[in-house]
Structure 1
Amino acid sequence: MEKFNFEELKVYQKSLIFIDEVYKKTKEFPKEEIYGLTSQFHRAASSIALNIAEGAGSTNPEFRRYLQIALNSIKECVVCTEIAKRQSFLEVKEYEKARKDLSELSKMITSLMKYLSN
């Protein structure tokens, strides 16, 4: 099977792992959150990978624009994670792991943006 170029990017691969973790954890959220926090968390997490994929292969300035949108989605995920912890939907260890993963994704995207600026 042929791969698209963006699928080779480590940041894209890491974003997919994060999405898997979000979907796994949100299955344990209360059912009344299905159209609230769960849905928002799914959309924000998916947006990270979607924007990396959509921007890849474009001009460098265009790709940087999509990467900025992915960074904004990371911020949304930070807030979703915080809300989930405050509502006791996430354990402290799960919260800390999600924050660590989001921080790593943010650093990877920022580095890629700097690289594209050169």
Structure 2
Amino acid sequence: MSKDNIPENVSIKDFKQLTVWQKAMELSDEVYRIVRDFPDFEKYAMTSQIVRATTSISANIAEGNGQLYDKKQFSFFNNALGSASEVRSWLDQAFRRQYIDEATFHRLDAMTTEVIKMILGYMKRLKAMVYSGKE
């Protein structure tokens, strides 16, 4: 990348200030708490997968927020969206296998759905900026 490709008004963005990142971190913290009680034989299967998917949400939000261009940021937020949907699927499987109770399932599913809605809202704003030529 040449210096000519770097926008003039570049500033440091702090992903930690994004409410969506904060909510994704809260979800991740909760998932880490519940997987401690999963059966040992799930350690390298479901436990690993749900932890990886959950941590991927906040990591993709952070990485996307650090991009110079809105189109690249959009792509990372899209990855976060996919990871959040994957978390919902793992939560459903954990509930079906009775690794989590119904109340925990509904609470975590609601938290994940809230993060998904926030990601979608952020993506809509980014899309509007990209197509308005303000990138």
TM-score category by the smaller chain?
Answer: over 0.9
Amino-acid identity (%): 34
Q: How does 1:63-78 map to 2 (within 5 A)?
A: 63-78=73-88
2:100 is the counterpart of 1:109: no
SS state of the match for residue 29, structure 1? coil
Q: How does 1:22-101 map to 2 (within 5 A)?
A: 22-58=31-67, 59-101=69-111
User: What is the aligned counterpart of 1:16 among 14, 19, 25?
Assistant: 25
- Shift in Å, 1:57: 2.8
Question: Which AA in structure 2 matches 1:101?
Answer: M
Question: Residues 34-59 of structure 1, C-alpha deviation per residue, up to 9 Å, x if partnerless?
Answer: 00000000000000000001111311
C-alpha separation in 2, matches of 1:4 and 1:43: 25
Q: Is the 8 A contact 2:15 2:61 kept in 1?
A: yes
- Shift in Å, 1:111: 0.3
- Shift in Å, 1:117: 1.4
CA-based RMSD of the aligned residues comes to: 1.2
> Where in structure 2 are there 5+ consecutive unaligned residues?
1-11, 129-135
TM-score normalised per structure 1: 0.95
Question: Residues 3-35 of structure 1, C-alpha deviation per residue, up to 9 Å, x if partnerless?
Answer: 961110000001110000000000000011100
Question: Which AA in structure 2 matches 1:105?
Answer: V
- Shift in Å, 1:88: 0.2
Moved segments of 4+, more than 6 Å: none
C-alpha separation in 1, matches of 2:19 and 2:85: 20
TM-score normalised per structure 2: 0.83
> Where in structure 1 are there 5+ consecutive unaligned residues?
none
Q: Which of the two has higher C-alpha Rg?
A: 2
Question: Which AA in structure 2 matches 1:66?
Answer: F
Q: Is the 8 A contact 2:54 2:83 kept in 1?
A: yes
